[in-house]
A and B are shown apart, each in its own frame.
Chain A
Amino acid sequence: MRQKTQKLVLTFDTTAAVMALERACAGQEQLGRIIPTPQAISAGCGLSWCALPEREAELTELCRARDILVAGKALVEMYG
């Protein structure tokens, strides 16, 4: 039986920003991954960053250090 768990989802104003975060997190699977923006957050098209909620501080600092502007944060119930 598949279970949903809470995930942290970071949104960005541009695809380039989330792709920059993916490059910054290369080889560090524990920091999360790119996903299509969940419909629970937005019905629009877009890519977001998905991670475990406990990684929020680490990701926030990484984005700040790399000048990657985070547009929003949300907690979303997702499979996996």
Chain B
Amino acid sequence: MNQQVNAIGDACPLPVVKAKKALSEMAEGTLTVLVDNEIAVQNLERLAKANGCAFSFAKDGDAHYMATIEKTAASAKDVQGAEAFACAPAGDTVVVISSNRMGDGDGALGKILIKGFLFALTQLDVLPQTILFYNSGAFLTTEGSESLKDIRALEEAGVEILTCGTCMNHYGIADQLAVGGTTNMYAIAEKQMQAGRILRP
């Protein structure tokens, strides 16, 4: 039995609540859910995975997504609750990189970790809106950085890359910015104030 749920225009968590209800009523089959935002797609994916269902989605136009959940005999019999699927806060995700190392401890490991983190960002299906680089984080966007390829890929995919001008001046690398633009403390404060979520590795 196949079903379709139209959750266009529904505020979170309604899409996942509707999908859960439809899944509960299905023995096996394909559930198609129409939504208009990526957060809903992510929540539907969590719902599918939590219940052992295959998941895929397609983007149709600017703001329409078709999520497909395949329920099989191997899927969970009792569909898990949608209560666990928290709605993301309104606003964009801003990543704040304040150091050219990730975490305290071994410096060499810290450099590998921040490189790995920036690579991991490139592998996300939904990318952050902005990445802010300041203090020694400025070394990551300037010439000689081993993360330039990843940061350029993020910029090409539409992520705003901003590096603190004061920081580059302090380190004497102001003429070596290799990706993105220069920013100042007002913009750094404003971007974080307006963010729905801030990631700080």
Shortest distance in angstroms between B20's beta carbon and chain A's nearest beta carbon? 25
Within 8 A of B (CB), among A60-80: 78-80
Contact A34 B122 (CB under 8 A): no
Question: Which listed residue (A19, A35, A78, A79) contacts B108, Cβ 8 A?
Answer: A19
Contact B112 A47 (CB under 8 A): yes
> A2 — nearest CB in chain B belongs to which residue?
B157
Contact B116 A35 (CB under 8 A): yes
Within 8 A of B (CB), among A18-74: 19, 22, 33-36, 38, 47
Contact B116 A47 (CB under 8 A): yes
Chain B residues within 8 Å of A78, by CB:
123
Shortest distance in angstroms between A27's beta carbon and chain B's nearest beta carbon? 11
10 more A-B residue pairs beyond the given contacts A15-B109, A34-B116, A78-B123, with a C-beta to C-beta distance below 8 A? A2-B157, A19-B108, A33-B119, A35-B116, A35-B120, A36-B116, A36-B117, A36-B119, A80-B122, A80-B123
The total number of A-B Cβ pairs within 8 Å is 27
> A76 — nearest CB in chain B belongs to which residue?
B123
Chain A residues within 8 Å of B112, by CB:
19, 22, 34, 47
Interface size class on chain A is 10 to 19
Interface residues of A (CB under 8 A from B): 2, 15, 19, 22, 33-36, 38, 47, 78-80
Chain A residues within 8 Å of B157, by CB:
2
Interface size on B, residues (CB 8 A): 13
Chain A residues within 8 Å of B123, by CB:
38, 78-80
Contact B119 A35 (CB under 8 A): yes
> B117 — nearest CB in chain A belongs to which residue?
A36
Give Cα distance in the complex from A22 to B112, angstroms.
10
At the interface, yes or no: B153 with Cβ under 8 Å from chain A? yes
Contact A36 B109 (CB under 8 A): no
Chain A residues within 8 Å of B119, by CB:
33, 35-36
Chain B residues within 8 Å of A22, by CB:
112
